[in-house]
Structure 1
């Protein structure tokens, strides 16, 4: 049985960086290619963009597995107590990734890894950081934690993790860039 992606691996590796490829550290290239060609792990990159007037936000998620990158974005309208809080959109992007990952994983998937650039994401998930003064963020945090727990229960054969995307993996990361650009483009399309 021939699996998707094996032909691509045997062929020429894609150049995600164009003329900057020589500047990309080899360890970063290896991580990116491992994620891109992964068969048993679905990688999800989440990002948010906020409009200048801050009454609108957009979120995007990039799903990476088996030689495919799929970017999905949408505009969201934050509640009044979250108008200038980018973390609201970042958490919404993670919720979107968790809510929709089944559409983008393959039959061999064993692991789901969600990356966020919210540096306190682990503390938020463990309720070591709470949003007591912002009711909408507190509700969103609770929704995220509940959804994360439910997805683990519903999918006992999958390993789930939500991780902070460390600084050393941000530069030259085409998947983070795809989520970032997807979010920005969704806002630009409103104009």
Structure 2
């Protein structure tokens, strides 16, 4: 007797058949890894029990490879400020991309950094994104790194985008960044 034949209450999220990625999601993941023109970077951040200890995770996808990196960040004054942590993850991604382009002779014409915070659209502007001054300083640091990279590599289109819900769903690369962020802080 399987769960489909059960007459009692059962939890939808535990049903394996409902958690299977669609053929479209599998194809999207395959296309991302084989893309020779676009490097996609998925970023995520997690906080350890509201202690101001953040895990930052990145997943680089493209040109037939996947690279996952993580880093621990301590900032007691930013407890429960996940926006700060997400901006720190974007900053970490920009630093890693700059290192990657200095070490190798990369000629990828486009790089897209995906984050799950909605404030990333405001990074292209010059105004403050929140009332918190430390978060605004972090946003300015991200803007400066972004502009410096574009100045150093003028032929490369570097974008920072908000990851929409459909892009998040069944995305093994976002999940890898998320897991890297969680594991570096021991969660």
Compute the TM-score of the two structures, normalised by the length of structure 2.
Answer: 0.82
Match of 1:37 among 34, 39, 46: 34
User: Partner residue of 1:112?
Assistant: 111
User: Partner residue of 2:8?
Assistant: none
User: Partner residue of 2:84?
Assistant: 88
Distance across 2 between alignment mates of 1:22 and 1:186 = 26
User: Partner residue of 1:101?
Assistant: 97
How far has the Cα of 1:29 moved from its partner?
2.3
How far has the Cα of 1:171 moved from its partner?
1.3
Deviations 1:52-77 (A, max 9, x none): 14221110111111221111101101
Distance 1:129 1:117, change over 3 A: farther
How far has the Cα of 1:127 moved from its partner?
4.5
Q: Which runs of 5+ in 1 are unaligned?
A: 1-18
User: Partner residue of 2:12?
Assistant: none
How far has the Cα of 1:158 moved from its partner?
0.7
How far has the Cα of 1:188 moved from its partner?
0.5
Name the Cα RMSD after superposition. Answer: 2.3
Secondary structure (helix, strand or coil) at the match of 2:176 reads helix
How far has the Cα of 1:35 moved from its partner?
1.1
Q: Which runs of 5+ in 2 are unaligned?
A: 1-15
Deviations 1:91-149 (A, max 9, x none): 011011111114277734111110000022102432466223x2211110111111111
Structure of greater Rg: 2
Contact 1:73 1:186 in 2 (8 A): yes
Contact 1:79 1:136 in 2 (8 A): no
User: Partner residue of 2:148?
Assistant: 150
Q: How does 1:129-144 map to 2 (within 5 A)?
A: 130-132=129-131, 134-144=132-142
Secondary structure (helix, strand or coil) at the match of 2:61 reads strand
Distance across 1 between alignment mates of 2:34 and 2:80 = 38
Compute the TM-score of the two structures, normalised by the length of structure 1.
Answer: 0.80
Runs of 4+ deviating beyond 6 Å:
19-22
Distance across 2 between alignment mates of 1:67 and 1:147 = 27
User: Partner residue of 2:9?
Assistant: none
Distance 1:106 1:176, change over 3 A: farther
Distance 1:149 1:21, change over 3 A: farther
User: Partner residue of 1:183?
Assistant: 181
Match of 2:47 among 43, 47, 50: 50
